[in-house]
Amino acid sequence: MRNGLKTLGFGIALLGVTGAAAGCTSARASSNSSGHGTISIVAGENEYGDVAQQIGGAYVSVHSVDSNPNTDPHTYEATPSVGREIAQANLLIENGVGYDTFMTSMASASPNSARKVIDVQKLLGLPDSTPNPHLWYDPKTMPAVANELATQLSALDPAHAATFRANATAFTASLKPWLNAIAAFKATHAGTKVATTEPVADYLLQAMGIDNVTPWRFQADIMNGTDPTPQDVALEKGFFTQHQVKVFCYNQQVTDPLTDSIRQTALSANVPVVGVYETMPTPGYDYQSWMMAELNAIEKAVTSGQSTQRL
């Protein structure tokens, strides 16, 4: 993740949004709030969109802006069509912490007091200074999002409130196998040392009791598109050549010659490599199975030295 890059193209997009917003927003919101049609949801990232679909079921229509796991999410450019989706939406879900500022900016360009907004950063009570924005890897995040979705959807469509509540309860229960697997790994492998390029999966690694030895300054440099110092690059590669770590977790969606050379150093030293994602891989995954797949990949790397560079 490179902070700020997701605002690219926003100015261009606004030119196509502001004119369309006034004529569309009130009509769509009125229809949905009266119980007719579906509730229109726009999520900044498809992991949030997936959870919204699971909670809303047949009563929602979800559009996820960032949904391609095969591209660098930092090259995303907000388009007029996304602006129109946001302008017409009844409910927005944004990560916050500077990750998807285009959501807030586009919503501001088409104000609608009836539109609901779930800002995950605010929902979790996190300050703007939160260093790691990849909140969806924190096991505490999605249960909170699911419950908030049930609350907001119930306000928009009271007739189906019981369904939304039941779906949120079922979703939270469905995370138990993943949470149990996290606890089991921690009980057996706590203190395992790994290296990373970015703090993409750091919240999950912390929950698993893993010791990420890569200095924060190196992770932050890579995340923010800044060249790390030669000393830090040498330190990072030394983790592999000196066999100080058991796994290398790298952001397989954001690669460049430097991160690729680090990955090659790990492979050459027979350190297993696990590719982690910022965007939920599709098709074939939902949030629960994606998180379980990444945990399984890390466990296989630790226990059998097996690399999983792509899910």
Same domain, 106 and 197: no
User: In this structure, which amino acid lies at residue 193?
Assistant: K
Tally of domains in the chain: 2
Q: Is the peptide bond before 215 cis (omega within 30 degrees of 0)?
A: no
**What span, in angstroms and rounded, lies between the C-alpha atoms of 219 and 286?**
27
State the pLDDT at residue 36.
Answer: 53
Does residue 8 sit within a domain?
Answer: no
Classify residue 10: in a domain, yes or no: no
Asked if residue 13 is part of any domain, the answer here is no
Q: Are residues 201 and 157 in the same domain?
A: no
Same domain, 219 and 170: no
Query: Does 92 share its domain with 205?
Result: no
Sheet holding 60-66, edge to edge: 60-66, 39-45, 91-94, 116-119
Instruction: Provide the mean pLDDT of the chain.
Output: 89
Asked if the structure places residue 184 within a domain, the reply is no
| 70-79, 118-127, 134-143, 171-180, range with the lowest pLDDT | 70-79
Residue range 153-166: average pLDDT?
A: 98
> For the ranges 3-12, 175-184, 206-215, 263-272, which has the lowest average pLDDT?
3-12
CA distance 302 to 283: 27
Q: Is residue 81 part of a domain?
A: yes
Same domain, 246 and 214: yes
Question: What pLDDT is recorded for position 17?
Answer: 40
| Domain end call among 112, 147, 174 | 174
Within-domain flag for 181: no
| Residue 284 belongs to domain spanning | 190-304
pLDDT for the residue numbered 267 = 98
What's the pLDDT score for residue 208?
98
The label of the residue with tokens 């196998």 reads 177
CATH code for the domain of 129: 3.40.50.1980
Asked if residue 204 and residue 286 are part of one domain, the reply reads yes
For the beta carbon of residue 48, count every other beta carbon within 10 angstroms.
31
Q: What pLDDT is stored for residue 66 in this prediction?
A: 85
3-state secondary structure of 193: strand
Do the beta carbons of residue 84 and residue 93 sit within 8 Å? no
Q: Are residues 194 and 221 part of one domain?
A: yes
pLDDT at 16: 43
Same domain assignment for residues 59 and 144 = yes
- Tell whether 101 and 140 lie within a shared domain: yes
Tokens of 120: 């995950």
Kindly state whether residues 133 and 201 are assigned to the same domain. Answer: no
pLDDT tens string 171-209: 999 999 999 999 999 999 999 999 999 999 999 999 999
- Whether residues 44 and 159 fall in one domain: yes
DSSP, res 57: G
Q: Is residue 299 part of a domain?
A: yes
Check pLDDT > 80 for residue 10: no
Encoded tokens for 67: 């949904």
Residues 165 and 45 in one domain: yes
Q: How far apart are CA 272 and CA 64, in angstroms?
A: 32
For residue 86, is it within any domain? yes
